[in-house]
Chain A
Amino acid sequence: MSSIQEVQNEIISEFEILGDDKESTIFYIMELGGGLEKFPEKEQIEENIIKGCQSKVWLIADEKDGKVHYQADSNTDITKGLISLLIRVLNDRTPQEIISADLDFIHKIGMGGIIGSQRSNGLAAMIKQMKLYALAFQTKQNA
């Protein structure tokens, strides 16, 4: 399995191909959302909504063999695409790897310029929630 940094580098080169073309970039992000694992309908509940996002984002996580597995969904395609990128980087890793991950691909692909400030805040809220899950699992492991 590739390291967190390797997956981030893959994403950076994919976005490099798209260049400055905002339209293609947005379209690409939307397409990525289509690749998300199917989210269980019964989990589309208020408790699983990430606070701080303008659109609705549901996130759940469980732990298997010491690794964290995330599932997410959203009511907007662009947000689905954004969270699918985070899942691609962070899924099925140990809590410690997730907690200490420096997600520099977001800055390197110029995500702020692509999605604007409001959605960037939402993206930061998603990362925070993913790390909080990892922290909770780590605390449980150490208990």
Chain B
Amino acid sequence: MDNAIEKIRQSFPILHQEVHGKPLVYFDNAATTQKPQSVIDSLSRYYYHDNANIHRGAHALADRSTGYFEKTREAVQKFINANESAEIIFTKGTTESINLVASTFGRKFISAGDEIIISTLEHHSNIVPWQMLCEEKGAVLKIIPINEAGEILFEEYEKLLSPKTKLVSIVHASNALGTINPVERIIEAAHSVGAKVLLDGAQSTNHLEIDVKTLDCDFLAFSAHKLYGPTGLGILYGKRELFEEMPPYQGGGEMIKEVSFEKTTYNEIPFKFEAGTPNIGDVIAFKYALDFIQQLGKKYIKSHEDELLAYANQLLEPIKGFIPVGTASNKVSVLSFNIKEMHPFDVGMMLDAKGIAVRTGHHCTQPLMKRLGLEGTVRASFAVYNSKLEIEKLAEAVAQIARIKNK
């Protein structure tokens, strides 16, 4: 194995185990990535030494946790090159980040007859909040179609845009197929009709360089746990002027300036959107995940993952009965496939018996599966700690399984 990858693997204790008597091959990274030792250590250190509620405590521990907590906000700001850390809101995850925008931006800026555009590639979490909003407001949801390879049809998107378009909410990289959308062009076109853009970055922020200033997106939603960080923590980036105009999301502590029974005034951003005690320990630990990524560099991560994806395609394509799903020219390291005459659930279970963890099913993208005429797929998704040797194991396993029905 490549020495550099072996060294990276050393930082992930979970990878060094056997399942069903076979060494674990973890290829379910698009669902969640594993955590480096530094993140795990930070979590236990926090509860051992630093646990305190933040921002208002009049004691040393509170001061310390507040400091660490806000350090992560600054680290996230740098990670996506936002203008200021006040533009970073901590949420429960990508889903909540999107729901926050649907609920507050939606409340203020969406009215009857307005249009919201999403694409066929979306995860349910970037479909359902908009359906709910449209139903409530009498707005209309428009869907960008895709081709057989799983790429959006840009000309069709342009046709959907009009002065009625208030928001384009689109996935940066598809969780089910790996397709990377041409978001720069999508954003520019949306802005030309005065629409705002929310980028679902759940599957892109861990692979691609993200610069919200260059992209000029209005919102960016992503999750810490897909970035080698803890679960239950998400990020919502938004431009200051928008966040300031948007009403609060939930009411409670932290988000207020002054409360009286007659009238309550709200806190400044980002606190206006962070009611209640936040997920302090996980926020603090997330900084170590970001450090891990920065130390390796996205360029290195992407090139290694590209190499793994290309190698997997090379080894799997010749297998009789192998059907790739999603063949876009620009992809993150997601390999979705089916085996002729076999149900993805069966394939997944047989791979699991061989120690290989993949995801099977519709990947929370039922409309996409319907468009492709599929019930589901088997999805292997690669992270920086995966090796070529593991890809070889996958190919060997898939070949064996495919032979059952494809002799």
Contact = CB atoms under 8 A, between A and B. Distances in A.
Interface of A: 20-23, 25-27, 30, 54-55, 75-79, 115-116
A76 B20 contact: no
A23 B397 CA distance: 11
Contacts of A27: 350
A115 B350 CA distance: 10
Interface of B: 20-21, 342-343, 345-346, 349-350, 352-354, 361, 375, 404
B364 to A, nearest CB: 14
Contacts of B343: 55, 75-77
Contacts, number: 35
Contacts of A30: 346, 404
A75 B404 CA distance: 16
Contacts of B345: 54-55, 76, 78-79
A115 B353 contact: no
B375 A23 contact: no
B346 A77 contact: yes
B352 to A, nearest CB: 8
A115 B375 contact: no
A79 B352 CA distance: 16
Main SS at interface, chain A: helix
B20 A23 contact: yes
A23 B346 contact: no
**Which of B346, B353, B375 gathers most chain A CB within 10 Å?**
B346
Contacts of B354: 23
Contacts of B353: 22-23, 25-26
A12 B152 CA distance: 52
Given A23-B354, A55-B343, A78 B20 contact: no
A20 B21 contact: yes
Contacts of A55: 343, 345
Given A55-B345, A77-B346, 16 more contacts: A22-B20, A22-B353, A23-B20, A23-B350, A23-B353, A23-B354, A26-B350, A27-B350, A54-B361, A55-B343, A75-B343, A76-B345, A77-B342, A77-B343, A78-B346, A78-B349
A25 B350 CA distance: 10
Contacts of A116: 349
Given A30-B346, A115-B349, A75 B20 contact: no
A92 B154 CA distance: 60
22 contacts: A20-B21, A21-B21, A23-B20, A23-B353, A23-B354, A25-B353, A26-B349, A26-B350, A26-B353, A27-B350, A30-B404, A54-B345, A55-B343, A55-B345, A75-B343, A75-B375, A76-B343, A77-B343, A77-B346, A78-B346, A79-B345, A116-B349
